[in-house]
């Protein structure tokens, strides 16, 4: 189920490097992959904590009617908090 994307979400998601990166969020190390589709109007993000303790998966759609967030089998608040907190490593 999709929901309206929170304020600042699109900017924070776009700041995650396209392709695969490593970084930190909420004190954990992650590997994250951000993929673009439809000329950048939709994105997919999948991230997994390197210790195996957490998993994030979402789709984001930039629609004419507004930005939509579609988390994959997890609360929207969880994926929004991750995207806001994720800091890619400088070398990623």
Question: Which residues make beta-bridge pairs with 48?
Answer: 31, 55
Tell me how many domains the chain contains: 1
pLDDT of residue 44: 98
Expressed as residue numbers, the domain containing 69 is 3-88
Distance separating alpha carbons of residues 55 and 46, to the nearest angstrom? 8
Using an 8 Å Cβ cutoff, are 57 and 46 in contact? yes
CA-closest candidate to residue 44, choices 75, 73, 19, 76 = 19
The structure's pTM equals 0.92
pLDDT of residue 2: 79
pLDDT tens digits along 33-91? 999 999 888 999 999 999 999 999 999 999 988 899 999 999 999 999 999 999 999 97
Mean pLDDT over 18-27 rounds to: 98
What tokens were used for 12? Answer: 């924070």
């Amino acid at each position: 189920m999709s929901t309206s994307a929170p304020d600042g979400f699109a900017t924070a998601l776009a700041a995650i490097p396209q392709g695969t990166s490593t970084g930190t969020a909420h004190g954990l190390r992650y590997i994250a992959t951000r993929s673009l589709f439809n000329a950048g109007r939709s994105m997919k993000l999948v991230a997994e904590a390197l210790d195996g303790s957490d998993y994030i998966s979402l789709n984001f759609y930039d629609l004419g009617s507004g930005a939509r967030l579609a988390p994959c089998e997890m609360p929207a608040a969880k994926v929004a908090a991750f995207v806001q907190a994720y800091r890619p490593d400088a070398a990623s």
